[in-house]
Structure 1
Amino acid sequence: MTPRFRTRGALVLLALLLASSGAMRLGSNLGAAMARAPDTSSDAPLTCPEPPLALAEALRERESAVRGQEEAMQKRQAALDEAEKAVRLQIDELARAEAELNETIARADGAAEGDLSRLTAVYESMKPKEAAALFQAMAPEFAAGFIGRMQPEAAAAVMSGMSAEAAYSVSVLLAGRNALAPTE
């Protein structure tokens, strides 16, 4: 055997001896403890002795403090419930306001789009020379917006009636207006 196993065996033997010694001591005192136990075979109910006055007073104070804390927690919970109701009402109100705003914006966008479509149709139905004179008088950014919405044939006829500088300005604006748009 190696020295390691001899040491381990000695430790196990020592542990067993200690455990058996403890068990014997426990068993020898068990009889005496059973003999001192009160007799529970009688029909008389067991009663607890009255606690000392200081302990009873401390327990009453503790109970009072706990009751006070419970009441404070109930009040706090009620306040939280009220605040939660108010927040929910505000969220509902904001949702309704947002829906109304979106509806108003959609109507305004639709009306503006309708106005632009009608005005574009008016410019398309004009004689190209008359429309060219109007577009040449407009700011190039404004004119480019309408020419970009027109049918290609009508836009070409109008631009051919404009001066070369004005037509060039409108062309540059039309070519670059979507240059910064995302491609993906």
Structure 2
Amino acid sequence: MRRSLLSFLALTFAVPAGLAIWQMQDFSRYFAAFAEPSDLLQGCNDVPEAVALAEELRDRALRIERYMETIDRKKAEVAEAESALRKRLAELKSQKGGMRSRQDQSTAAVRSDIEKLVALYDQMNPAEAAAVLTNLPADFAAEILLRVRPETGARIIAAVEPRQAALLTAQMGARSVRKN
């Protein structure tokens, strides 16, 4: 009994609703507000509260429109700034890549020069190399001595006067400590 009553009620409400939906092709026309602000006051001009409310609503609508225009303008400005920043970021990244490649080339050139210089000192007579190294700045001479073959470095230090050899050895030790 209950089920048949529920089915009957469902049909009673569903069929007219279905017909109404079928007849309505465009729902928006039933839900849209078509009244103009001037039409809102039709027949209410003698009620001061209604007139004041209509004016306040009109003022609020105008303020909202101005705010929305301001927001749209600011959105456009932000989008333009973001585009400019992205472009600048791309430029900076490309410049950074160029700088890195130039730096890598420069570092490779310096390493090559140092390797050539070390090879030169490796081939020199230890006494002659000692004479040249004693005239170089101590930190530079210590760097060269650290990079030559150990046997060559030992012969060069042996050929240097003891006081200068002690200074070079201290510089070599200090450089090793700074590296770590």
Q: TM-score, normalised by structure 1?
A: 0.67
1:84 pairs, out of 60, 82, 85, with: 82
> Structure 1 residues 145 and 49 mapped into 2: Cα distance closer, same or farther (>3 Å)?
closer
1:1-184 matches, within 5 Å, as 50=42, 51=44, 52-182=50-180
Counterpart residue identity of residue 142, structure 2 = A
Counterpart residue identity of residue 54, structure 1 = A
Q: Distance in 2 between matches of 1:106 and 1:121?
A: 22
Q: Which runs of 4+ in 1 moved over 6 A?
A: none
Q: Distance in 2 between matches of 1:136 and 1:83?
A: 61
Q: TM-score, normalised by structure 2?
A: 0.69
> Structure 1 residues 106 and 149 mapped into 2: Cα distance closer, same or farther (>3 Å)?
same
Uncovered stretches (5+) of structure 2, i.e. residues with no partner: 1-39, 45-49
> Structure 1 residues 49 and 113 mapped into 2: Cα distance closer, same or farther (>3 Å)?
closer
Task: Give the superposition deviation at 1:53.
Answer: 3.5
Q: Distance in 2 between matches of 1:49 and 1:170?
A: 101
Quick check: 2:41–2:54 contact (8 Å CA) kept in 1? Answer: no
C-alpha RMSD over aligned residues: 1.8
Q: Distance in 2 between matches of 1:118 and 1:93?
A: 37
Classify the secondary structure of the residue corresponding to 1:178.
helix
Deviations 1:132-163 (A, max 9, x none): 11011112211101010000011111111111
Task: Give the superposition deviation at 1:72.
Answer: 0.7
Q: Distance in 2 between matches of 1:93 and 1:126?
A: 49
Classify the secondary structure of the residue corresponding to 1:177.
helix
How many residues align structurally?
Answer: 135
Identity %: 27
> Structure 1 residues 139 and 49 mapped into 2: Cα distance closer, same or farther (>3 Å)?
closer
> Structure 1 residues 180 and 133 mapped into 2: Cα distance closer, same or farther (>3 Å)?
closer
Q: Distance in 2 between matches of 1:180 and 1:151?
A: 21
Counterpart residue identity of residue 94, structure 2 = R
Q: Distance in 1 between matches of 2:73 and 2:58?
A: 23
Quote the residue 1:19 is aligned against.
Answer: none
Uncovered stretches (5+) of structure 1, i.e. residues with no partner: 1-47
Q: Distance in 2 between matches of 1:163 and 1:86?
A: 65
Q: Distance in 2 between matches of 1:74 and 1:164?
A: 81
